[in-house]
Amino acid sequence: MSYKMILLFCTALLLSFMLQAGTLQKETRVFAETEGTPLRLDIYKTDSATILPQPCLVFVFGGGFKEGTRDARHYLPYFHYFATKGFTVVSIDYRLGMKGKEAPGVLNHKPLQQAIEMAVTDLYAATNYLLEHAEELNIDPSLIILSGSSAGAITVLQADYKERNNHPAAEILPDDFRYAGVVSFAGGIFSEEGLPSYAQRPAPTLFFHGSADKLVPYDNTRFFKLGMFGSKSLAKRFRNERYPYIFYIMEDIGHEVSEYPMRDFLPEIEQFIIHLVFDRKQWMQEIRFKDMLRASDTSNTPANYYN
């Protein structure tokens, strides 16, 4: 290990101890107003003094694009864990485009497609706000990491995918900006090109997905080239193209993988960020994880969730 790496490690360790002693602070701001509705974000950090700008972990909540809130109680342990580890954690609002809509399907995909586009647009607006206020918020613009649950996981994967492919919606972001990493809890990408491909290398990505998930497909649901491509399909693309990623395959578990890794796998998420985002290790890793004590309800489908 080089002297520089040792120094960085010791600084990070010292900073971690300092942050553990700090008090968590929460601040709410409006980052955009759309159709007369303010969109807000919550900023979580400690009150401990920091010398260097902090990495920023942005979170997008789940709820099928029809419900959910940025400050739901079950997300708080996730926010608090990373805030005390030296991150600025930001949880954002976005417009709920599937509210009051029927269950999506291959022949009824337009409402879902539009809802995803709205959520991605709002995520870009929140990102741009953070970049414009980076100095004031003491965050590092080069270390903005996306994470999301279910619909939020779809949103963050879709956002990185569109940004890397120069989608017009991403033009609000600076030309040289790239997301530093993506953490997806039961997500996927809606694609009209078949298995999604990237014009530029995607951010290092951590996938969690249950192999029995019927709400967001573990593999894919498609009609010719049109469809939703889940973590198994995306990991295949990453492996074939040699993009860094880690994929936790939660065997025989349904859509609850959208939430419980934010409680049970916090150290694993942190290690992904340290190794693949901070240290830029070029790892491709797939972990088949079977919890023999966890019973799963795999009956949740789009048909019964939206009706």
Joined tokens for residue 194: 């078949």
pLDDT for the residue 3: 38
CA–CA distance, 68 with 152 (Å, rounded to integer): 10
b/e map of 164-198 (b: 16 or more CB within 10 Å)?
A: beebebbeebeeebebbbbbbbbbbbbbeeebbeb
Query: Does pTM surpass 0.85?
Result: yes
For helices 110-132 and 151-164, angle between their N-to-C axes, nearest 10 degrees: 70
Helix (H) or strand (E) holding 125: helix 110-132
> What is the set of domains in the chain, with CATH numbers?
34-306 (3.40.50.1820)
pLDDT for the residue 243: 98
pLDDT for the residue 8: 44
Q: Are 185 and 261 in contact (CB under 8 A)?
A: yes
Q: Are 161 and 200 in contact (CB under 8 A)?
A: no
Q: Are 92 and 30 in contact (CB under 8 A)?
A: no
pLDDT for the residue 22: 65
* pLDDT tens by residue, the chain, 307 residues: 443 344 344 444 444 444 444 688 999 999 999 888 899 999 999 876 567 899 999 999 999 999 999 999 999 999 999 999 999 999 999 999 989 888 877 778 898 999 999 999 999 999 999 999 999 999 999 999 999 999 999 999 999 999 999 999 999 999 999 999 999 999 999 999 999 999 999 999 999 999 999 999 999 988 888 899 999 999 999 999 999 999 999 999 999 999 999 999 999 999 999 999 999 999 999 999 999 999 887 778 888 888 7
Count how many Cα atoms sit within 13 Å of the Cα of residue 159 in the half-sphere of its side chain.
Answer: 37
pLDDT for the residue 244: 98
